[in-house]
Chain A
Amino acid sequence: MGNIAGLIGISIGAVLINNFVLSRFIGLCPFFGVSKKLSSATGMGMAVIFVMGLASSFTWLINSFILQPYHVEYLQTIVFILVIAALVQLVEMALQKYSPSLYEALGIYLPLITTNCAVLGVAIINTGLNQFTGAPFTFIESVVNGIMSGIGFMFALILMAGIREKLELADVPELLDGLPIVFITAGLMALAFLGFSGLNFFS
């Protein structure tokens, strides 16, 4: 049970407390780029969840069975980038084949996941210590952390897209129209998410 409680802790931590976009400020490029429409935000979020989950498991395996035994942890950045890039390519090809409409909707942002620091970020965080258990991440924990971080990313993306769709109709001062008002909105959202850092069930 303690294991499940730990996983729930990781999930809440990844989605709300340490939300990638709004608390860690990682992966901001797609956050501003793909949050114009709710439908493409959902698609992008799904792609990120998928890539993050896959990347977490692969990078954890590579880290614990190849990098750590040979004491070459310093290679993790380049190896992880390699793995993530290949994964994104794979996802892109699969999307183009099986879901052309989603491929259209994501457009140029799909290759952007390749260099999305959120995906690399979750892989690197997984190599560190689990803040709830104080021990290194297990395989299950790192996969859950990856998927939940992706869900947190999608959550922020969808919130932003919902706000931006409403914002289209708002009477925004000319100087702030477009990206500036979105930056301000993102700042306010981050401020709101600061409230979640008070959530502390497990320590």
Chain B
Amino acid sequence: MHLSAENLPFRELNERVKAAPGEVQIDNCYGQPFVGSGCKDKSIIIYGTPGNALGAYLDGAEIVVHGNAQDAVGDTMNDGRIVIHGHAGDALGYAMRGGKIYVRGNAGYRTGIHMKQYQEKRPVIVVGGKVGSFLGEYLAGGLIVVLGLGVEEIPVGSFTGTGMHGGRIYIRTKQKLSGLPPQVTAEIASDAEMGEIMPFLAEFAGLFDLDLKQFAFDQYYVLKPNAKSPYKKLYTAH
């Protein structure tokens, strides 16, 4: 089913998307928030620029965006897959608890903030370009991979992993990673550790028609919570 979203208020658009069985294609999407929120078994293909909280509380559906997405994509997402062919805004995968998000371009500040995992539920975010500051802040679980494709500098901003106490962050860069907070340890990823992310790198390459060999076997850092230095306050001297 095709829907043109131009001039359609967000409530109406989202009711129509939810009522449509199977695959829905949305054209001319301009900023409607909450598209696909909470959807279980559905496939939503979007042309345009969907609004904030795209796929919030997503529970199994698949969303594909041909364009850029805005803030809070996959907020508290539980299951399913979100694929963004452009860039994503701030707070991508905020408090995500399951499912996968793949972004071909860059993502904003606070990517994967406070993601968590429980038993078989393990959320995954893969960003092709670079991300802003506070990547994986308060990370409690799950997996974040930043590929830095086409990025010369370190592809993450300041305060990466601040307050991190679970999960893993992988960063592909030739540069030496520095300036990380004491709650985080960073080492070059071992073969075994790379094995953990290889299926997701392969999926990323497949989704965006890239050659896996061009980026999967380079130097990656893996960031883990530092067991010796539990969470310390950041905001003492502001």
A and B held together in a complex? no
- Interface residues of A, Cβ cutoff 8 Å to B: none
